[in-house]
Amino acid sequence: MNKTKRAIIIFPQLGSNINLIQNIRNQYDFLAHKIAPHITLVFPFESDISSNELSQHVRNSLREFKSFKITMQRIIQEENYLFLKLTRGQKEIIEIHDLLYSRLLSGFLAKQHHYQPHLTVGRLKDSNAVKFAMNELKYFDYKFETKVDKITTEIILDDLSSKVDFEIKLK
């Protein structure tokens, strides 16, 4: 069986405000044209797990999970990445992350792993580029609020673009 590269993510539904984030991503993230703004729950992994098996795992893991609100505000830096920080909903997202990495996906979790929920807005080549970007974005203080009511599993194609494999609705 062929291995498929996937990730499990949240696509925040932010209406026209998504353009504020997308404009930054267009400037600082080479993946901006490959995938919409998202919060990664399960980082890219390659496996021969079928869509049915994975869908069942996600459904079982999240069967008691209800929809919840998130707020994102302020751009922060971690190494050569720029993140839109979550200020509300972190606890729930960490809980979903931990549930998804149980059982079927437990072998894909990095040993030295500290998960901090975020939405990536930049991937930069070096610290000078990061300093420049952070200076450009220091006044970016928009607040983004939305409700999370579905979890998406994507297939990552060879050109790094994304296509939806399936979505699971939360209660």
* Residue pLDDT, tens place only, 75-89: 999 999 999 999 999
127-154 mean pLDDT: 94
- What does the alpha-carbon distance between residue 10 and residue 24 come to, in Å, rounded to a whole number? 19
- What does the alpha-carbon distance between residue 146 and residue 158 come to, in Å, rounded to a whole number? 31
Share the mean pLDDT of the chain. 93
What backbone phi and psi angles, to 5 degrees, belong to 166? Answer: -160, 165
Let me know how long the chain is. Answer: 171
Cβ contacts of 129 within 8 Å, gap of 6 or more? 80
Q: What sections of 120-168 are H helices per DSSP?
A: 127-136
Percent of the chain beyond pLDDT 90?
85
